[in-house]
């Protein structure tokens, strides 16, 4: 594997978009991001203040306009995101009301229509990604089995298998469309999704025939909160990592609460997301491993913190990421001492001449 330099810093705009300037239009929010030192923006396709997904799926000219707006501020569009729409590809009935708000008003209250709408949204975003020359697309898998992740009473035999069979059935045509578009789907492995750790991802991957487009968005914060080794995860799945959210987290269990949080607010949980540098993620090791494994995608800040403001998190995030990006070496540090050699010399050194 050839080592490559990670691109960045980028910023995911979803948590910053709002009705007030400079967060209420793509042009203004790009200007704000650039002023903080960001080089790329990841765009949430569901936010009409920033992006018109229907137009983007139909018109390369519109996609060129979006790319041009970013470029006018010295920015690159890193990826498009359909996290909310991807969630709706598979929804357990227990969550119908909670997730209805993610959908267009005319399909709310109708799970079948909502799912069809969500599939169309993800497909449109993949087409738009091709229009924009993007190689990866960020999304969620959705979830049918999540209510049974820690069940009581016990799960009946075959329940999880049936759920994953159905999840794969729903995603396979979308993955095939991604192949046609030449775009990798990068699933964010995340609690609340059926793809929430390595084992569940492998269950899904097997059912979609190890599809070349069924790849990963790496976010170490979600692994800290569930006690998963986020560095070993890179070693195992490096060949499938296509996107990277730089987000921090901490897990400080007590005698009162642990992984599940005891129904406390985010600020009062044992496990909580933090701004970059304020949590427990070893980003030096993360960037080193990703660089070593040849990841050359974007390091994108996703701000989620229970304590620090979004504005401060964004200000501090760009220099934090920039300081961790490693310019991958193309030479060995001891090349200066090389005496030069050939196969005959090698054989003599081994006593084989």
How far apart, in whole angstroms, are the C-alpha atoms of residue 158 and residue 142?
19
Q: Helix, strand or coil for residue 122?
A: helix
DSSP letter for 75, please.
-
- The DSSP-derived string for 105-119 is GGGTT-HHHHHHHHH
How far apart, in whole angstroms, are the C-alpha atoms of residue 183 and residue 133?
9
pLDDT at 107: 98
Residue 301 forms beta bridges with which residues? 11, 246
How far apart, in whole angstroms, are the C-alpha atoms of residue 215 and residue 17?
27
For residue 240, what are its two tokens? 């499938």
Closest by Cα among 254, 246, 300, 232 to 278: 246
pLDDT at 345: 86
pLDDT at 333: 66
Q: Model pTM?
A: 0.95
How far apart, in whole angstroms, are the C-alpha atoms of residue 271 and residue 248?
11
pLDDT at 179: 98
Query: By the 8 A CB rule, do 58 and 97 touch?
Result: no
**Count of beta carbons in the 10 Å neighbourhood of residue 231:** 14
CATH number of 7-349: 3.20.20.150
pLDDT at 340: 72
Residue 42 forms beta bridges with which residues? 12
Query: By the 8 A CB rule, do 281 and 250 touch?
Result: no
pLDDT at 329: 81
pLDDT per residue rounded down to tens, the chain (353 residues): 689 999 999 999 999 999 999 999 999 999 999 999 999 999 999 999 999 999 999 999 999 999 999 999 999 999 999 999 999 999 999 999 999 999 999 999 999 999 999 999 999 999 999 999 999 999 999 999 999 999 999 999 999 999 999 999 999 999 999 999 999 999 999 999 999 999 999 999 999 999 999 999 999 999 999 999 999 999 999 999 999 999 999 999 999 999 999 999 999 999 999 999 999 999 999 999 999 999 999 999 999 999 999 999 999 999 999 999 999 887 776 666 677 778 988 898 899 97
pLDDT at 350: 92
How far apart, in whole angstroms, are the C-alpha atoms of residue 149 and residue 159?
11
């Amino acid at each position: 594997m050839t080592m490559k330099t990670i691109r960045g810093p980028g910023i995911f705009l979803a948590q910053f978009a709002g009705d007030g300037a400079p967060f209420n239009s793509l042009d203004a929010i790009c200007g704000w991001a650039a002023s903080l030192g960001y080089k790329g923006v990841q765009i949430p396709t569901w936010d009409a203040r920033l992006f018109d997904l229907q137009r983007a799926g139909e018109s390369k000219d519109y996609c060129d306009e979006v790319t041009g707006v970013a470029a006018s501020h010295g920015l690159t569009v890193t990826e498009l995101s359909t996290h909310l729409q991807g969630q709706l590809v598979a929804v357990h009935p227990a969550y119908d009301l909670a997730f209805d708000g993610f959908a267009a008003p005319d399909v709310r209250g109708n799970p079948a229509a909502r799912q069809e709408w969500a599939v169309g949204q993800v497909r449109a975003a993949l087409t738009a990604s091709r229009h924009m020359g993007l190689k990866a697309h960020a999304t969620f898998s959705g979830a049918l089995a999540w209510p049974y992740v820690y069940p009581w009473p016990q799960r009946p035999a075959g329940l999880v298998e049936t759920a994953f069979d159905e999840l794969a059935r729903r995603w396979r045509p979308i993955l095939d469309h991604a192949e046609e578009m030449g775009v990798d789907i990068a699933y964010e492995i995340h609690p609340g999704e059926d793809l929430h750790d390595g084992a569940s991802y492998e269950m899904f991957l097997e059912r979609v025939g190890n599809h070349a487009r069924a790849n990963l968005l790496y976010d170490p914060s979600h692994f800290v909160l569930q006690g998963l080794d986020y560095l070993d995860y890179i070693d195992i799945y490096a060949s499938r990592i296509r996107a990277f959210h730089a987000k921090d987290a901490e897990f400080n269990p007590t005698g009162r609460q642990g992984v599940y949080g005891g129904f406390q607010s985010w600020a009062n949980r044992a496990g909580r997301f933090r701004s970059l540098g304020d949590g427990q993620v070893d980003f030096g090791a993360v960037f080193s491993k990703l660089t070593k494994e040849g990841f050359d995608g974007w390091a994108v800040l996703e701000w989620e913190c229970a304590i620090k403001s979004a504005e401060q998190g964004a200000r501090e995030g760009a220099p934090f990421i920039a300081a961790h990006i490693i310019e991958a070496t193309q030479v060995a540090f001891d090349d200066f001492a090389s005496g030069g050699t050939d196969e005959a010399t090698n054989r003599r050194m081994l006593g084989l001449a």
